[in-house]
Amino acid sequence: MTKHLLIVDLEATCWDGDVPGLARRQTVEDMEVIEFGCVVAEPDGKVLDAKSFFVRPVLRPQLSSFCTQLTGISQQQVAVAPVYAEVVQDINAWLAAYQPFCWASWGDYDRHQLDAERQHKGCEPAFMAIEHKNLKQLWREGRAAKRRSGLQAALAFHGLAFEGQHHRGIDDARNIARLLPWIPL
């Protein structure tokens, strides 16, 4: 039986400068997930399935122009999307066809954001109960400590160009999957 890996890349509400109504920069507690980019892949990078789940933010429902420019996600896309708890149910139903041995992300931001969402919304995707792997950290192991390890830099290191739109969850997740052949799991 082939083992499956779930790659998750989140996009969230964000601002260039202070959070509206607050005199400080954003933290994960201020942000809300607006997209789950999810890829089910084999450890060698073969993509078995991929899906984008948009989420309607409720704390600050109006996306900043910075956020829409950065992610390419429009106000209309999130305005008609289900709320977080409904999306969690949709993700759980979608993943029922797979048995991922772990879930992974490029860095720890996604795990921290999901922890904050659980605290605020009282629910989390079922995959949070399985092991998380920080693929960025695993990719860096055995490479020069000062090597740039952003997603685009890691792709370039292997002679790969980024495909799609950077900071779009589904595109980032697909590109992360392309790096799996060089990441020890």
Per residue in 18-39, pLDDT (tens digit) is 998 888 999 999 999 999 999 9
Specify the DSSP element, H or E, that contains 12: strand 4-12
Q: Which two tokens stand for residue 34?
A: 């607006």
- pLDDT for 144 equals 64
Residue 150: is its pLDDT beyond 90? yes
Pair 111, 132: CB distance under 8 Å: yes
CA-wise closest residue to 104 among 84, 141, 130: 130
CA-wise closest residue to 177 among 2, 3, 5: 5
DSSP notation for 82-150: PPHHHHHHHHHHHHTT--EEEEEESSSHHHHHHHHHHHHHS---GGGGS-EEEHHHHHHTTS-TTS--S
- Tell me the β-bridge partners of 33: 12
Under the banding of pLDDT at 50, 70 and 90, the label for residue 143 is confident
Per residue in 45-64, pLDDT (tens digit) is 999 999 999 999 999 999 99
- Tell me the β-bridge partners of 86: none
